[in-house]
Chain A
Amino acid sequence: NAGVTQTPKFQVLKTGQSMTLQCAQDMNHEYMSWYRQDPGMGLRLIHYSVGAGITDQGEVPNGYNVSRSTTEDFPLRLLSAAPSQTSVYFCASSYRGAGYEQYFGPGTRLTVT
């Protein structure tokens, strides 16, 4: 199993540009989440999904969109990038059978200039 994969690993955007961060898992997990990690602020939940076709907002959803058309994929879209979205983004997956332990991807480091 590859586990949770994220692409790209690094990205630089100009203010106003849009892009999609990719996340995929091959463990058939029903739950998937996106977090952003900023210095001193831990991991903050952006959006999450409890199954294909079902998504909901986390703590900091503004400026981001998600969709979950398959169990495996959970892309995160930045609609119009802002410098405040400079961060490291982590995708995670989990399932009830594992007691909700989250498996994290390696992260995407995004810089918005």
Chain B
Amino acid sequence: GENVEQHPSTLSVQEGDSAVIKCTYSDSASNYFPWYKQELGKGPQLIIDIRSNVGEKKDQRIAVTLNKTAKHFSLHITETQPEDSAVYFCAAKGTNAGKSTFGDGTTLTVKP
């Protein structure tokens, strides 16, 4: 089955700096790559996603890049703010629409 690896597990940055989180996947048939943000005590919430026919997608301070050949995708957050502090998960979905595999999560801390 699909295997998703996420790095780093923890990331601490100063407010205003950029943060980058990387994921690799194993199944070349995977075609949908979402990123979720989880705040303390809540369920994960989608922040950005990318499909296999696109190389990069941006939404204000957040961007995701996908390298299908290398089977990796990354989340980039620019001008970080304290409210960006949370756990971030990457995921990959293949041809089975009901099934997604998640990475182990990255705890991002933004220091004021």
Contacts and interface: CB of A to CB of B under 8 A. Distances in A.
Interface string A90-113: 101000100111101111000000
B44 A31 contact: no
Contacts, number: 66
A101 B98 contact: no
B100 A42 contact: no
A102 B99 contact: no
A33 interface: yes
A104 B49 contact: no
B97 A105 contact: no
B41 to A, nearest CB: 8
B43 A101 contact: no
A48 B105 contact: no
A40 B104 contact: yes
Contacts of A101: 34, 46, 49
A82 interface: no
B1 interface: yes
Contacts of A71: none
Contacts of B74: none
Interface string A40-53: 11111100111000
